[in-house]
Structure 1
Amino acid sequence: MKKIDDKAKHALMKHTTPPEKMKDEIWNRLDNELFNEEIKPEKVHTMKLRILPALFAAAAVLLLVFSFGTDTGLALIDRIKELFEPEKQAVQSIEGTDEKNEVQLNEGKNAEYVIYIDEERYKMIKGAGDEPDVITTKEPLPEKFPEVSMTIEQVPDTAPDVLVGRIEEELKAEFPDLREVEQVEEPVAGYQLHGIANGGQAWDDPVVHAYVIRNGNGGSYVITERYFLEAAEGHGARFYAMLQEFHIVGAQE
């Protein structure tokens, strides 16, 4: 295997002509970080996990140089999205057991983010206008079950540290015992909110689990999971796994 992935490099550089010094510096740093040892077959999967964050870091530098709003910048974003596999196998820990599932790549509204979804169990409904995108069960649940969904909403021009207080107040109206806001790094980096209705006494008590994160353009994403207490280790764990594969494509920061 070559010391740098030619396809990935070509995808990022095809429609740009940066100064040679900067271009070389970016790719040399990627080269050193990702391929500073001999790649053995058993390390291929690990390598794939390492290369995407580094490619996005390189892309961020290039976008700052070439202006994200230009046709060139938009073409570059299209090529970054092409680097994601349309389908892959994911290992999820469900109720203490590792479970292998095929997950499919889905684009969010306006192609501003991508996320992998287990389409045997879930579907994405893209919001119209200002409505959020919704990921919910592929088949409707019986009426006795509370809502199971994950909404993804972008809030432009409001940073997470400002927006999280507003979201907290809104959720407290429905979940008076909402926990204090926490800052987390997994499955996404940002603010986390969590609450259970009725004190968590019954199997069907509604649960809310929300994140407020940077959108990379001076605003925020609000990701709100809803399920019920008994489903925390099922739907809750699967939503967590999905968010580990949530990638913002149109970030300028």
Structure 2
Amino acid sequence: MRKEERLFLAIGAADPALLERSERKERPSGLRWGGLAAAACLAVLCTLAVYASRRPGAPVTPDDAPPPDAVQTVPEVLSLTGGDIGELHLVAIHYGPGRDEAADNFVLYINEERYCGTWEGGGYTVRPRQPLPEELPECSFTISHRRNTSLEAVLAETRAALEAEFDMVEDQPGTAGRAALNAWVGDESGAEWDAANAAVTLADDRQGGVFVLTARYFTEAAEGYGANFADMAASFQPVTPDVAVPGWMTALRETVDTLLPAVFSDAWTPETRALLAEGAAVDLYDEDVSGYVSIAGVDITADDDQSPSSAVVSVRHRISSEDSMTYVTMCLRYAEGRWLAESIGLEK
């Protein structure tokens, strides 16, 4: 893809003449921060939910999973809305490595055709799949978490950080438990078409902390990447540990948590073998590494967020602190009321 085409994609497939513009552009009154209406135009949707399930540095065991009855009796239920927006129903789940990280739980919808998400430096970052010309400002959407602090304190710190980086910083309309700031390089009348912009949303995690959602893009991409990032921020919802999750998600988590001890210990019990589909391909360490493994998280992508029939699981881990991250990839299908693994292998 040529440089001009990549830029055309970034600004939302607008008039090609915009590619040659260099005049100043009047700033919009503010990005869209409410609802998921704009998400209806996305081609594929991905939900990310983070759920703590085990102690840091220790392999997962079935005993770590919450009792199904306890989950079902919780009055608040996690709402997954992807199935309500046309064909936008891909769902991905991530749950972290320790119960003390329960406050990090959240749900996020992204467009998987145009964007990919990765864990970087303790936070989650969404970037365009198609790289932009290097001379343009960064385009990304990041999620970080601040514990044991207030929305007001983080707002003041964030405003000060933005004022040190950008020429202009404006408060945006907020909602209950949320605050927002926009920033840009320029002045009150506007900014150059390729000037750096940032839109920050702060969300109370309802457990004594704050999520910081930061969208970065350049001025001309405000109606492309900027609008998409605003939709991601609008879809974001913190999830407290006592929130009930859909039945298929609970069953899938239990299956993964049951398989992981065998994956790392190479000790396959009748219970774990029963979770392998007939003819399943298994290519792992072929030795017991359970005493050394440190699990950083488990990402699950299913083919539907209401009634999935298949899922891909990626277990981020390292065997020693000197190793880079390795991934155990499981491909599972839902058959006869339970999840079965069709293949399990290692990837770097």
TM range (shorter): 0.5 to 0.7
Aligned residues: 169
Instruction: Structure 2: state its 5+ residue gaps.
Output: 1-63, 97-103, 244-348
Match of 1:115 among 105, 108, 130: 108
Write the letter of the residue equivalent to 1:84.
Answer: L
Answer whether contact 2:139 2:216 (CA < 8 A) is retained: yes
Distance between the aligned counterparts of 2:115 and 2:90, measured in 1? 10
Report the equivalent of 1:126: 119
1:84 matched to 2:43? The reply is: no
**Residue 240 of structure 1 corresponds to which residue in structure 2?**
230
State the shift of 1:83 in Å. Answer: 6.0
Distance 2:206 2:78 in 1: 20
Equivalent residue number for residue 186 of structure 2: 198
**C-alpha separation between the residues in 2 aligned to 1:173 and 1:74?**
51
More strand per residue: 2
In the TM superposition, what whole-angstrom CA distance separates every residue of 1:220-253 from its partner, at most 9, and x where no partner exists?
A: 0111110010011111111122222212122679
> For residues 84-163 of structure 1, what are the structure 2 equivalents within 5 Å?
84=80, 88=83, 90=85, 102=88, 104-107=90-93, 110=96, 112-128=105-121, 131-163=122-154
The answer on 1:215 being equivalent to 2:205 is: yes
Write the distance in 2 (CA, Å) between the matches of 1:75 and 1:123. 34
In structure 2, distance between residues paired with 1:74 and 1:232: 46
Give the 3 Å change call, closer, same or farther, for CA 213–144 of structure 1 in structure 2: same
Indicate the residue corresponding to 2:169 in structure 1. 178
% same residue: 26
* Structure 2 Cα separation of the partners of residues 101 and 249 of structure 1: 24
Which whole-Å deviations, capped at 9, do the CAs of 1:13-71 have from their partners, x for residues lacking one? Answer: xxxxxxxxxxxxxxxxxxxxxxxxxxxxxxxxxxxxxxxxxxxxxxxxxxxxxxxx994
Q: CA deviation at 1:169?
A: 0.5
Is contact 2:71–2:242 with CA below 8 Å preserved after alignment? no
Answer yes or no: is 1:165 the counterpart of 2:136.
Answer: no
**Alignment of 1:231 onto 2:190:** no
C-alpha offsets along residues 133-176 of structure 1, whole Å, 9 cap, x if unaligned?
10110122221321111110110101111111011101111113
Distance 1:109 1:204 in 2: 37
Structure 1, unaligned runs of 5 or more? 1-68, 91-99
- Cα distance, 1:196 vs structure 2: 1.1
Q: Which has the higher contact order (CA 8 A, sep 6+)?
A: 2
Q: Structure 2: how far apart are the matches of 1:118 and 1:103?
A: 10
Contact kept, 8 Å, 2:201 with 2:233, in 1: the verdict is: no
Q: CA shift at 1:218, angstroms?
A: 0.7
Assess, with a 3 A threshold, how the Cα gap between structure 1 residues 109 and 162 changes in structure 2: closer, same or farther.
farther
Secondary structure, aligned partner of 1:164: helix
Structure 1 residues 101 and 108: alpha-carbon distance in aligned structure 2, compared to 1, 3 A threshold: same
**Contact 1:106–1:117 (Cα < 8 Å) also in 2:** no
Corresponding residue SS for 2:148: coil
Cα contact 1:206–1:227 (8 A) shared by 2: yes
**CA RMSD after TM alignment:** 3.3
Kept in 2, the 8 Å contact 1:106–1:115? The answer is no
- Aligned mates of 1:212, 1:252 — CA distance in 2: 22
Structure-1-length-normalised TM-score: 0.57
Q: Give the aligned residue type for 2:212.
A: V
Instruction: For residue 102 of structure 1, report the CA deviation from its aligned partner.
Output: 3.3
> Given the superposition, is the C-alpha separation of residues 218 and 72 from structure 1 closer, same or farther in structure 2, using an over 3 Å criterion?
farther
Q: Which residue of 1 aligns with 2:239?
A: 249
SS of the residue 2:90 aligns to: strand
Aligned residue identity for 1:142:
P
Looking at structure 2, the residues matched to 81 and 120 of structure 1 have their Cα atoms a distance apart, in angstroms, of 28
Letter in 2 for 1:229: T
Letter in 1 for 2:71: L
Matching residue's letter, 1:164: L
Give the aligned residue type for 1:158.
T
1:82 and 1:223, CA in 2 relative to 1: closer, same or farther beyond 3 A? closer
Deviation at 1:197, TM superposition (A): 0.6
Shift of 1:76: 2.4
TM-score (norm 2): 0.43
